[in-house]
Amino acid sequence: MQILFTILVIFFAGMGAGLGTGFAGMSAAAVISPMLITFLHMDPYMAVGIALSSDVLASAVSAYTYGKNKNLDIRNGLIMMVSVLTFTVIGSYIASLVPSRTMGSFSVFMTFLLGVKFIVRPVMTTKEAMQGVSPRKRAIQSLVCGCLIGFICGFVGAGGGMMMLLILTSVLGYELKTAVGTSVFIMTFTALTGAVSHFTIGGAPDWTVFALCVVFTLLWARIAAVFANRATPKTLNRATGVILVVLGLVVLIFGAMA
């Protein structure tokens, strides 16, 4: 009975994380971690490590799907990825020097508010409008915004995927599909870095939970990414908004229970 309960918890955790990743480039850690901690009483550090591991393949398959449909900006994604990783380390170091604060709710509220934003004010930018920006200007914007995202994520410890989606759509003027595709491309490498460091420091995970989380998250991320790339901009905005609002509320509830 306990095994069945474990599988059900991981299935729904993977479903929520996969849908969030495939639709909006959301980090799986924001969904999987609180569910593993709340229902399976897993060590928080190990739960985050497993969630990040699940994020690697889910983000990778999502990025592949978006890239295959020409909804991925690899050139500027690489520029942003380097600056995000660099300034995440810097932000983490600075955070270790200041008094600790409880900022875990940052990612949850950001997820909820971003979902409302997509429903109320959908992103209707076209690829033609995106291409009107000069490559040099776009590269500089990607570098600067990557530094900002990385520092905030390193300092606060959460919200990477949501920060990237918000800045790519609202600041850099990306159309939604390209923004999500570029976001999951970057998240593949940031999640891999985080997962390796977690297991190097914390030791090997529960391999059964690890495998199930990876498989379920990968499955639902693939489904979401395929649907997202076929959907119209209006439908995608609404679907992304609803997914983010629901996930924000669910994670908030689980966080309160933990």
C-alpha separations of 176 from 21, 145, 169, 172, 215 in Å: 14, 17, 6, 11, 26
pLDDT digits (tens, 9 = 90+) for 134-154: 889 999 999 999 998 888 776
Confidence of residue 95 (pLDDT cuts 50, 70, 90): low
The angle at the Cα of 197, spanning 191 to 199, to the nearest 5 degrees, equals 100
Q: What is the pLDDT of residue 93?
A: 76
In the three-class reduction of DSSP (H, G, I as helix; E, B as strand; rest coil), residue 43 is classed as: coil
pLDDT digits (tens, 9 = 90+) for 171-188: 898 999 999 999 999 989
pTM of the model: 0.86
- CA–CA separation, 51 and 53 (whole Å): 5
In the three-class reduction of DSSP (H, G, I as helix; E, B as strand; rest coil), residue 220 is classed as: helix
Token pair listed for 209: 């939970």
- CA–CA separation, 20 and 44 (whole Å): 21
User: Of 20, 208, 13, which Cα lies nearest the Cα of 110?
Assistant: 20
In the three-class reduction of DSSP (H, G, I as helix; E, B as strand; rest coil), residue 182 is classed as: helix
Q: What is the pLDDT of residue 156?
A: 60
- Where on the phi/psi map is residue 26: left (φ > 0), alpha (ψ -120 to 50), or beta? beta
Contact 36, 209 (CB under 8 A): yes
The mean pLDDT value for 114-125 works out to 88
The angle at the Cα of 48, spanning 2 to 75, to the nearest 5 degrees, equals 135
The mean pLDDT value for 43-54 works out to 87
Token pair listed for 248: 């924000």
- CA–CA separation, 125 and 137 (whole Å): 18
**How high does pLDDT run on average in the chain?**
86
pLDDT at 157 over 90: no
Q: Is the dihedral of CA 101, 52, 33, 158 positive or negative?
A: positive
* Largest Cα span, the chain: 59
Contact 245, 115 (CB under 8 A): yes
- CA–CA separation, 118 and 33 (whole Å): 25
